[in-house]
Amino acid sequence: MSGIDLTTTIGSVTLPNPVMTASGTAGHGTELGAYVDLSSLGAVVVKSLAAYPWDGNPALRTHGTHGGMINSVGLQGPGVEAWRREQLPRLVDAGARVVASIWGRSIDDYRRAAEQLAGCPSEVVAVEINLSCPNTEAGGELLAHDPEASAATVEAVAAAGLPRWAKLSPNTSRVAEVAAAVHAAGAEAVTLVNTLLGMAIDPVSGAYRLGSGERGGGVSGPSIHPVAVRIVHDVHRALPELPVIGVGGIATGEDAVEMLRAGATAVQVGTATFADPRTVAKVLAELTALAGRIGVARVADLTGAVRPPTPR
């Protein structure tokens, strides 16, 4: 035991610690279970599910970049109903707390996915509403760039009967405005941030690197970490009562503590998992050790604990 209280409260949800997987990077079920004790994590956030099975985008779907990667998976998934039948029982057996991420091509799609989540076992602690996938047909026109549409989507997801977290886009200067709108519509927390819109082109052949072609993809990994830290910071400052889950390029305990200090109450680890599937457990261990060195009694005391720069 570390002696530090790692308990994390996100709206009505209490987790044993603040470290989760990030949606899209840990599969739909127990894929990481061979490397990480899933019951030891704050929660497992599964890849976004629709109200129907969805094939996703053509290959290539991923490409390595400086300091991270770009992807256009296109939200491949089995749909909520098959997931409940085939994947969720394994997560429950593994002792995981589960966050179901959902997406749709219309507000009605989100409502249907939410309805399909109703009556899930109590191990499903929340629904994360992916308002910000860059790889839908609408392309750059993300739901999460529109406060009213985002709020209407969050309202529709009340049908799940679960605490709602809204995952927002970093590709707008209006994040705080959108966060306020989804909070007013019933979201208990916001997850900040989804991927940055990007593109990669082969310089020799001139071909788009990803199968999505001119639609590009989403950039993730360490290169976006400072962007995520700033957005978490600014939204926390603007809306101190709204819990923020920080995600973006977290690969170490130091990255996680930085995100907590920016204003997050919990963190998610994503792209680093592709390099080493044990990373999320490593981040939890390092965060715990670092909180001990800093000397806080409760990890929750780190949220928003930032001060002016040291004079030089």
**115: CB partners within 8 A, 6+ apart:** 51, 159, 160
Spatial distance between the Cα atoms of 280 and 123, rounded to a whole number of angstroms? 20
> For the window 213-252, what string marks contact with ligand DHB as x by the rule CB under 6 A?
-----x----------------------------------
- Read off φ and ψ for residue 294, nearest 5 degrees: -70, -35
Element (H, E) at 98: strand 98-102
CB 269 within 8 A of CB 279: yes
User: Is residue 78 a contact point for ligand DHB (CB under 6 A)?
Assistant: no
Largest CA distance in the chain: 59
Nearer to ligand DHB, 29 or 218 (CB): 218
User: Is residue 270 a contact point for ligand DHB (CB under 6 A)?
Assistant: no
From the candidates 15, 133, 143, 154, which is the catalytic residue?
A: 133
User: Is residue 17 a contact point for ligand DHB (CB under 6 A)?
Assistant: no
Spatial distance between the Cα atoms of 214 and 200, rounded to a whole number of angstroms? 10
- Of 132-140, 152-160, 247-255, 256-264: span binding ligand DHB (CB under 6 A): 132-140
User: Can 133 be counted among the known catalytic residues?
Assistant: yes
- Read off φ and ψ for residue 71, nearest 5 degrees: -135, 155
- Of 4-12, 81-89, 128-136, 184-192: span binding ligand DHB (CB under 6 A): 128-136
Residue of the chain from 8, 17, 116, 135 that contacts ligand DHB (CB under 6 A): 135
- Of 70-78, 185-193, 279-287, 289-297: span binding ligand DHB (CB under 6 A): 70-78
User: Is residue 73 a contact point for ligand DHB (CB under 6 A)?
Assistant: yes
Residue of the chain from 8, 17, 18, 24 that contacts ligand DHB (CB under 6 A): 24
Nearer to ligand DHB, 7 or 76 (CB): 76
Nearer to ligand DHB, 130 or 279 (CB): 130
Nearest approach in angstroms of CB 135 to ligand DHB is 3
**14: CB partners within 8 A, 6+ apart:** 7, 8
- Look at the alpha carbons of 114, 116, 121, 124 in this order and tell me if their dihedral is positive or negative: negative
CA dihedral 197, 80, 43, 229 (to 10 degrees): 10
User: Is residue 273 a contact point for ligand DHB (CB under 6 A)?
Assistant: no
Neighbours of 229 (CB within 10 A): 24
The count of chain residues that interact with ligand DHB, using the rule CB under 6 A, is: 13
User: Is residue 170 a contact point for ligand DHB (CB under 6 A)?
Assistant: no
Nearest to 208 by CA among 102, 82, 58: 58
Residues lying near ligand DHB in the complex (CB under 6 A): 24, 71-75, 130, 133-135, 194-195, 218
Catalytic residues: 133
